[in-house]
Structure 1
Amino acid sequence: MKLQAAGRSRWLVYQKIVIVFIVFLIPLVVMNIWVNYKGLSFVKDEISESAVAGASFYSKQLDNELYFIRNQQLLFMNNRDLQKLSFVGGTVENYEEVQLIDQVKDSLLTLQSTSDYVVDTGVYIKSVGKMISMMNGVENTPNDTFRMISTLMETNPKPSFYRLGDRMLFIESENNSGIWSYIEISKGKLLAALNQIAALYQKSAVLLGEEKLGSILSTTKDTDVIPTMLSLVEEQSERNSNKPIIQKINGTSYFITHSHVSSLNLSLIMYVNQNELTSKLSQFNTWFFAIFVITIMVLLLYSFSIHFMIHKPLSKLTKAFQMIETDNLNLSIESKRKDEFHYLFNSFNRMAYRLKRSIEENYEQRIALQHSELKQLQSQINPHFLYNSFFNIYMMCKTGDSDTAAELSQKLGSYYQYITRSGSDEVPLFKEYRHSLDYCEIQCIRFSNRIRYEYAEMTHPVQSVLVPRLIIQPIVENVFEHAFEDGTMQGIVYLCVDYQEQGIRVTVEDNGNSLTDEKLEQLRTKLASSAEQKEKTGMSNVNIRLQLKYGAGSGVFVSRSQHGGLQVDLIINFTKET
């Protein structure tokens, strides 16, 4: 029988492949867009931080320079020659007074040369009634400079700097106003410093000012935005925040950063047109949309190619497997392809042929394996158990305990009669259960001083159900061999049979104390790989037999008992019986 065409298909696999592709593609696209936007945000933040760092660097340089000038002025006020001239002026000879004045002038020269921002330095000495400056020399007072300084000093409270028109001065007094010192700062030099900061960006401007005083210096000609800038910075300062501000003023969005110039108690504000910071980054948005369109096109092309390359041949292969499910093994798939599906079709044809031949062989081998497992279990008769039992009978006879000896002999005979019989491989469940209880009684007679057992009677209708022989006793034997091997406690074995909807559960428990979590896990692993073991124990043998007979849902399962020892459950699932 030849299959020429796949026929109409539900496209389930095809749809799944496309859906999986979309599921994997969408997160990648979303992640790519997210990474790009994150990158844009990162670059934007870097540019912003660079602007903030540049402005902060220059403002700190300016602040440090002005602080240095103020410190030099304070040091000059404590100059020995100046102090001496202040105290002894007018009481010394003219020569000595002139000499002190010259020395004060030298100190003023040194003070003026400390910074390029200093235009003029001067000092008024009350005791000699003179004003000494680097610009005007030595003058008697009152003069214009004296009157200007005295007027400025009347300002209350005392400001951090004094301003008169376009002039900026630092003024200090000492010795109860017996000495006045002033330093005039070059406004041109300060403006040049602000222009240097503004040169960081093309569309930026810098101003030095404060909301109440207004703008002291500014590099911009657009003075309309200055009051708003000062107001925004004042609000930020009240909140103790130095974060940059993005604000739209007069239709233009500005990036505003500020820092405090403490030497002047003013704010240095740099503002940049935000378009300058982001214009070069905005072109990436176009690429984002282009990537999205390309992704949709790739998805369509991928779906179309998958339909012809995978969906059609896969549908043909699926139909062939559906026919095998109806036990129709007389079929083959014809293929003109030269790809991997050609190999799959040929492999399917060979598989169908071999499957037909191996079904009978596999069934026969499985039956033979079950017989082999049972024979192996029957051959695992422990000679030490037989020898010890006979020795126990001998000792009981020697001690005159004939009743117990007779009972042990009867139980031992029944035990060996059951395990050595060569009749049917299946017995009623109650007989298998009774055989396990006989084994327990034998062990309890032998070790009457430290071992006993408890069991629940079988009252439900499943007691007559046929089960494989020797599936419970090997489990009980394992308890006596391993759970109570140290002999240091009163051992108890618990047996019960529980009927469930899907089958039967036989439970064997003990109260031994030698089972560790590591041993329990090893036992679970051993049972899980029973089929691969070359040498099988009684418990693994039972596990394989139950799985062969009733399916993978059946078998031997171990856990920790509520009594402290090992709990072994034998699961017989009738719904999976083969």
Structure 2
Amino acid sequence: MKLSRKVWQSSVYKRLIIAFIIATIPIYILAGILYSWASNLLRQDIMDSAETQSENYLRELNDTISRFNSLQYDMLNDNYLNKLVNTYDILEPYRRIELIHFLRSKLVSMRNSSELIVDTRLYLPGIKVEISAVDGYGYLKDEDVPVAKLHDPYNVISYNNKLLIVAYPLESEFDTIPNIIIEMELRPSEIQRGFQAALKKDYSGALILGLGTNAENMYIINDEKLEEPIRKHYGRSLPSKQATVRQPPAKLDQTYIFTHSSLMDSSLYVDHYLYKPTMFKTISEYYKWFWLFFCMTILMVALYLYYINKIINKPMVKLVRAFKRIEEGNLELNIRHDKEDEFGYIYERFNEMLINLKISIDEVYNQRIHLQNAELKQLQSQINPHFLYNCLFSIIRLIKMEKDDEAVNFTNQLAKYFQFITRNSRDTVPLENEVAHARNYVMLQLARFSDRVSVEFEELPASLKPYSVPRLIIQPLVENAFVHGLENVLEGGILRVTFVDVPEHERLVIVVEDNGENSEEGLERLSALVMDEQNKQITQEITGILNVHKRLRYKYGPESGIKVGRSALGGVKIELIINPKAVTADVSNANRG
């Protein structure tokens, strides 16, 4: 599991995805910034265009009103008008009529100069004369020229539902009413038509034209829900002559964009309420295209990653899993790749490598088996000449002492000993036979040590007798005890052989211990040699123990072998540990094959 987690954490595909995401995120961020910048720029252009059109219309309207003011001013300075006013009482009647008709003709010319003018009227309060371009002339009544008309000269005012421009000499001295008053009545419908034609757009929610501080506003309202709040708002607080910016009704801020346009030194202004959904309809189309592009790129990225996963990641994972199965010991693999690409080449080389690996393992395994057999043969051929001499001298002594039966028995035991160690038919034997051979060896040694060594050889439990073990694994340990532990003991020597079955650990322990005079230094040296199997400085006496240790490890695994320690008897304690469930090779079968 640790390997799998490590492989995933360092996965090339995972790092490829992360690198791809890191590379694409700035692109999407930049695209979003550019889109936002372009949208804001387009919005600002639309608003600037609306404000520019409003300002152009206001300039045109202001120029028209200024032209009307110029006509009025010219009329006020007309010589015939001043002559009529100043010499009215001394003029002949026909001359008065002549001047009145002349002035009326000028008023008609003024009226005909623009479609915006309904009528042009001249009031002469001093001589009680009223001249109209439409109605002619007549007697002027005092109520025809109220003071309310005179509060805002030369500007548009509202009076009795009429739009008027009233002019009179500003430098003249009068108590209440000037001697000369020129009045232009404007046509509201024509102003409304021009206003609508110049400024109304598809995205116009409402248009408000302010004509002056004393004139009623003109409204073009396309959205019914704006009717009440706008009329209420503008009816409550008309802008002053100096006002340049008006705030829209608060509840309309989120739905409409408000623009205010006005001119310096003029009371004219235009308020435009731009309906956002219609105004930014083009931007909304771009917005849809942007998100379509975004989704398409995400889809393309997903398809790209899927394709990369299919052609790179999956073959890579398959190869990694194959290596993991090899680590677990499964060499029966044959991975395939359908395409003739780099992975196809790698898979083919992997399969060839696996075949070569199995061949190499078989060769090494067979070499190890043959090495075990050679070591076993070497151990079998290592007959200690001193042991043989001692046995022969013991037979001679028994014969001289005329102990014929004992001599025969001893000779039979010696024959069984040589028969066991020289037999090559099988390299493994039942544990019962191996123990019997070790016991026979002990009996042969007791011919020399019986007067100074006692033997405690435990009976082998019946459950352990069928166990198959390598030959000659107990006798070398017993021999080591006699040669190195008990050789110089004069009396009271003890040799103990016991058997311990540990079912919970699935292992068998054979203990050989003595109370010989082994030094601590010798014990440590023996233990170190067992731990260091490759040590070249090994005496012939210890070769047998090390040979047993290596053969047990070869057959039963690294948990089996020889363990050396201090015995409770005072001498050396050698534990022979066997794990029967962990058999790695059957030497005899391998040898015969």
TM range (shorter): 0.3 to 0.5
| Structure index of larger Rg | 2
Task: Return the TM-score normalized by structure 1.
Answer: 0.47
Q: Which has the higher contact order (CA 8 A, sep 6+)?
A: 1
